[in-house]
């Protein structure tokens, strides 16, 4: 899992740990779970966020913030994004304006 994959390739990596990078396209909170839509140059991926602390940190980010997500890809035919049919659950990192990385979740 050293190499980043594109969102349109999630279906090829189901069950594997993957790393995605892109922009915060949309963030939606529900009672027990939150959904992050990550956009990259090739599509969209739905990221399921179950950790309340991570959801809180994501809720403070601006639209189009640059993020990196590491987690396990899972098949999900209802996920948005055409070819990106899956979700990733795992640590999130925000790329800062100065180029440094800020850890959002453990």
The alpha-carbon radius of gyration of the chain (Å, integer) is 12
Q: Which helix (H) or strand (E) segment is 58 a member of?
A: helix 52-59
What is the dihedral sign for C-alpha 74, 77, 79, 82? positive
Asked if 28 and 20 touch (Cβ cutoff 8 Å), the reply is: no
Each residue's pLDDT expressed in tens, for the chain with a length of 106 residues = 578 999 888 888 888 888 889 999 999 998 888 888 999 999 998 888 888 888 888 888 888 888 888 888 887 777 664 333 344 455 555 555 444 444 444 3
Q: Note the pLDDT of residue 95.
A: 54
Cα–Cα–Cα angle for 44, 46, 48, nearest 5°? 160
pLDDT of residue 81: 45
pLDDT at residue 96, as a whole number? 52
The structural domains of the chain, with segments of one domain joined by +, span 7-103
**What is the architecture, at CATH level 2, of domain 7-103?**
Beta Barrel (2.40)
Is this prediction's pTM over 0.85?
A: no
């Amino acid at each position: 899992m050293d190499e980043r994959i594109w969102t349109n390739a999630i279906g090829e990596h189901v069950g594997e740990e993957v790393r995605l990078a892109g922009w915060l396209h949309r963030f939606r909170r529900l009672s027990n779970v939150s959904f992050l839509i990550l956009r990259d140059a090739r599509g969209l991926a739905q990221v399921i966020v179950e950790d309340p602390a991570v959801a809180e940190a994501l809720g403070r980010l601006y639209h189009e913030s640059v993020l990196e997500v590491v987690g396990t890809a899972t098949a999900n035919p209802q996920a948005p994004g055409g070819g990106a049919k899956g979700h990733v659950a795992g640590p999130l990192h925000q790329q800062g304006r100065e180029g440094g990385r800020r850890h959002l979740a453990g």
